[in-house]
Structure 1
Amino acid sequence: MELFDSIVISSSLTQIGSDLTPLLESRQKFLCFALGSQERGLLPLEQIAEVLSVTLADILAVPEMPNCVMGIYNWRGKMLWLVDLNYLLDYPPLSPPEQESEALMAMVIQINGRSMGLVVQYVLDIELYDPIQIQPASADLFPPRLLPFLLGYLPSANSLVFDSEAIARCPLWQVHQN
């Protein structure tokens, strides 16, 4: 009798697992990071090449750049532009760490063969969400300066979902390419 019960339970669990497979496969990975003082931002993980820990001592400031550009950083022997994501998105700029050796986090995005580091205070976690749950961003919910960079928002996670391609296409970078 026990053998029969375990077979029934086993086949039931297998059925439940196979029923969940489409749900798990439809979920997408997002990197969650701190934005401003209390908000959370998300970037689709497939848009991120690497997450780096950088100190202010590692960043070379470049004159006559937009205020959101922190400078350049040596990444794998190449020049990587670092951008204060808070400042770019009209949040208060990142506070400099108390000590020069304290680190900030840079999310490296690569778009059309070009790399850029989006610097935030800290990265929280990798989270799974169903992209269907992303609500469109609208002008009555978000400030106009933020809208071009948003894919939308996830009410269940209380998070803004950003588009790294839109950030990379920001008109600020086009002006300073030459």
Structure 2
Amino acid sequence: MINDYFCGQLRQSINVLFPLESTEEVIALTYGEICPVPGVSSALIGVVNQRGKLLWVLDLSDLLQIAPDKETRRSPDNLTLLVLNDNKNNGQQIGCVVSTLKGIIPLDLAEKSLNLTSFLEGEFIKTSIMFDNEKYAVIDVQAVLNNIFDSHYFNNLAAKL
């Protein structure tokens, strides 16, 4: 079955795919617009006001434990967020920092799925694929949201707020 995926890159030019039905919008902002929140995971940069609601900002590269790439570093002041949702009408959203946006591509993962364990793996990766001679990791958006919103540190923080 063919589904649409939003394609982006993280640190070290790691290609990632997000199911299109889990993506809301793209936002450009600066670090100065983010309010840091102490006591949360280091992957959570902080929160921003998005049309009157708080949006948590997640450095997906940090969550996936991708080391910083010193050679192709962008300006640290400018960020691009891909806003992801849970598709369950719980209202859970998170803005994931991406280095580059590549657009939307239709794929049949059943035909393309590979076991590229040396590429990128972990609880937040559904599968890895080869497409147009490049490796891609398909992000499990629900696992990312569950990790952030159901985690012990987040629940303790929410109780304090």
SS at match of 1:64: coil
What is the deviation of 1:136?
5.6
Identical-pair percentage: 26
TM-score w.r.t. the length of structure 1 is 0.73
Q: Which of 154, 162, 165 matches 2:142?
A: 165
Change (3 A) 1:142 1:148: farther
User: Residue 17 of structure 2 contacts residue 137 of structure 2 at CA under 8 Å; is this kept in 1?
Assistant: yes
User: Residue 25 of structure 2 contacts residue 82 of structure 2 at CA under 8 Å; is this kept in 1?
Assistant: yes
What is the deviation of 1:172?
7.5
Change (3 A) 1:135 1:93: same
Change (3 A) 1:89 1:172: farther
Q: Which of 29, 32, 35 matches 1:54?
A: 29
User: Residue 153 of structure 1 contacts residue 161 of structure 1 at CA under 8 Å; is this kept in 2?
Assistant: yes
TM-score w.r.t. the length of structure 2 is 0.80
In terms of fraction of residues, the more helix-rich structure is: 1
1:20-99 residue pairs with structure 2 within 5 A? 26-93=1-68, 98=75
For residues 85 and 68 of structure 1, the distance between their equivalents in structure 2, rounded to whole angstroms, comes to: 7
User: Residue 114 of structure 2 contacts residue 129 of structure 2 at CA under 8 Å; is this kept in 1?
Assistant: no
Aligned length: 148
User: Residue 135 of structure 1 contacts residue 152 of structure 1 at CA under 8 Å; is this kept in 2?
Assistant: yes
What is the deviation of 1:46?
0.6
Stretches (4+) displaced over 2 A: 92-100, 140-143
What is the deviation of 1:133?
2.4
For residues 44 and 75 of structure 1, the distance between their equivalents in structure 2, rounded to whole angstroms, comes to: 22
What is the deviation of 1:110?
1.7
> One-letter code of the match for 2:83?
V
Aligned twin of 1:113? 91
For residues 141 and 147 of structure 1, the distance between their equivalents in structure 2, rounded to whole angstroms, comes to: 11
Structure 2, gaps ≥5 residues long: 157-161
In terms of fraction of residues, the more strand-rich structure is: 2
Change (3 A) 1:99 1:172: closer
RMSD: 2.4
For residues 47 and 75 of structure 2, the distance between their equivalents in structure 1, rounded to whole angstroms, comes to: 21
For residues 122 and 81 of structure 1, the distance between their equivalents in structure 2, rounded to whole angstroms, comes to: 20
